[in-house]
A and B are shown apart, each in its own frame.
Chain A
């Protein structure tokens, strides 16, 4: 019962297509940090979307935070406690300014305006992004967008982070900064990434998705281990 998230033999197919997930099972325990990798289209993002109920599996069960989750209403709590950071920050950042975007989640959770603004400042300070507070979101650089979209999720104080290719398109120094930020966070996380170095730096277990199921991955990035 110690599992935060447990998928059991989940099957999912997009309409009119062969199933991407056949009998996918995965568990995430408190404090655990796992990475998923696999070919393009192997169902990594799909799996994250299933966990927060944006997609519904055709078979199998999803347990999250100690309860089975089936209907849309079941997933409202899951979405509060498991923060999904989308692959494209432009999908995540939709408010005109950074502060409003970070306040969006807390306000939805019923926080007052003052509390939400406190959380905005607190979160930005924590990620050392205070200078971006009143910037217009679509004018941020790619790296800034990525860090701000992480901030929008962290502001909701989730227990689990679900990260969909967070190191995509980042330059080296921003990537290292993201690694430092993630490693300083207490949350359990599931990371989807093609970047072996990044996976190795941030997570302890790695899984490969293949033919719709998950298998343990032998890690190869010796270089990441050496610099640890």
Chain B
């Protein structure tokens, strides 16, 4: 729901409890390391260094002791897209043919490029899931605010987290009210018109709700300024992890000729 993986924490202070040496990391450290990691991995060119980066990501995953099933499910979502790349890139990029199927020729260069993209995507996705995916959205929002991201973006994220459920429930209520009056979706005008009404009604209700929320906020003295209330704090573990990450990323860049 609100978080991508199982929630690590629900508390305001967001020192994630739970197992693994990564659990105590400040969310800000997680975000910065994940972003730096993504930038470094994208710039790598050699398959060997990419494999090393992937190995590091797997090591990180194992040390975080997260539920593997949910990680696998997330990665599986990416796999279909990757498979398509793996098939189309060798065929579409000219170069030394390694396989000929009638008029089509698969090139070694294309295959190499597809592998490169596959490795980069898997490494970055894995690291992102381990470091940031295990934060709940509220904590993520607080951390982004502390990292000086534009307030509007952060508030957009937090309001979405807060109200997606409310709107979801509204949708569910409307849908069951429709079902109660024997609505069965089919491929006909009645279905499309009714679903159109449903979506339209949801938009109208969400707009009205947003106006009521703003009114309630103004009643409590809101004048456009948000005040944060979190207890994020960097600890020695964060410094250690950031140093290790910097070391690993520098090593990757150095190994990549």
The reply on A92 being an interface residue by CB < 8 A is yes
* CB contact between A52 and one of B2, B162, B165, B219 (< 8 Å): that residue: B219
Chain A 73-92 interface residues, beta-carbon cutoff 8 Å to B = 76, 79-80, 83-84, 86, 88, 90-92
Min CB gap B69→A, angstroms: 24
**Pair A49/B215 contact, Cβ less than 8 Å:** yes
Interface segment among B15-23, B101-109, B185-193, B220-228: the answer is: B220-228
B141 neighbours in A (Cβ, 8 Å): 96
**Pair A105/B216 contact, Cβ less than 8 Å:** no
B217 neighbours in A (Cβ, 8 Å): 94, 104
The reply on B183 being an interface residue by CB < 8 A is no
B166 neighbours in A (Cβ, 8 Å): 90, 138
Task: Kindly state the separation between the CA atoms of A49 and B12 in the bound complex, as whole angstroms.
Answer: 33
B165 neighbours in A (Cβ, 8 Å): 138
Which chain B residue has the least Cβ–Cβ distance from A116?
B229
**Pair B12/A138 contact, Cβ less than 8 Å:** no
Decide: A91 near B216, CB < 8 A? Known: A103-B227, A108-B225, A109-B221.
Answer: yes
The reply on B5 being an interface residue by CB < 8 A is no
* Chain A residues bordering chain B, tally (CB within 8 A): 36
The reply on B209 being an interface residue by CB < 8 A is yes
The reply on B173 being an interface residue by CB < 8 A is no
Binary contact readout B143-166 vs A (1 if CB under 8 angstroms, 0 otherwise): 000000000000000110111011
* CB contact between A79 and one of B12, B162, B218 (< 8 Å): that residue: B218
Min CB gap B227→A, angstroms: 4
The reply on A163 being an interface residue by CB < 8 A is no
Decide: A134 near B229, CB < 8 A? Known: A88-B212, A90-B166, A91-B212.
Answer: no
Min CB gap A35→B, angstroms: 20
B215 neighbours in A (Cβ, 8 Å): 49, 54, 86, 91
Task: Kindly state the separation between the CA atoms of A92 and B212 in the bound complex, as whole angstroms.
Answer: 8
The reply on A97 being an interface residue by CB < 8 A is yes
Select the residue from B11, B216, B221, B225 with max chain A CB neighbours within 10 A: B216
The reply on A156 being an interface residue by CB < 8 A is yes
Task: Kindly state the separation between the CA atoms of A134 and B219 in the bound complex, as whole angstroms.
Answer: 23
Decide: A152 near B220, CB < 8 A? Known: A99-B229, A117-B229.
Answer: yes
**Pair A103/B212 contact, Cβ less than 8 Å:** no
The reply on B10 being an interface residue by CB < 8 A is yes
**Pair B220/A96 contact, Cβ less than 8 Å:** no
Which chain A residue has the least Cβ–Cβ distance from B212?
A91
Which chain A residue has the least Cβ–Cβ distance from B2?
A136
* CB contact between A94 and one of B213, B223, B225, B227 (< 8 Å): that residue: B213
Chain B 203-257 interface residues, beta-carbon cutoff 8 Å to A = 209, 212-213, 215-223, 225, 227, 229
Min CB gap A161→B, angstroms: 12
The reply on A3 being an interface residue by CB < 8 A is no
Binary contact readout A51-66 vs B (1 if CB under 8 angstroms, 0 otherwise): 0101000000000000
B159 neighbours in A (Cβ, 8 Å): 94
**Pair B216/A94 contact, Cβ less than 8 Å:** yes
A105 neighbours in B (Cβ, 8 Å): 220-221
Chain A 168-227 interface residues, beta-carbon cutoff 8 Å to B = none
The reply on A95 being an interface residue by CB < 8 A is yes
**Pair B218/A103 contact, Cβ less than 8 Å:** no
**Pair A94/B162 contact, Cβ less than 8 Å:** yes
**Pair A136/B138 contact, Cβ less than 8 Å:** yes
In the complex, besides A86-B216, A95-B158, A108-B222, 11 extra interface pairs with C-beta distance below 8 angstroms are: A54-B218, A79-B219, A79-B221, A90-B166, A92-B216, A94-B163, A99-B12, A100-B12, A117-B229, A134-B10, A156-B221
Q: What are 12 pairs between A and B in contact, CB < 8 Å? A: A80-B221, A86-B216, A92-B213, A94-B163, A97-B12, A99-B229, A104-B217, A108-B222, A134-B12, A136-B2, A137-B162, A153-B219
The 5 closest A-B pairs by CB, nearest first: A108-B221, A107-B227, A105-B220, A96-B138, A91-B212
Q: Which residues of B contact A (CB under 8 A)?
A: 2, 10-12, 138, 141, 158-159, 161-163, 165-166, 209, 212-213, 215-223, 225, 227, 229
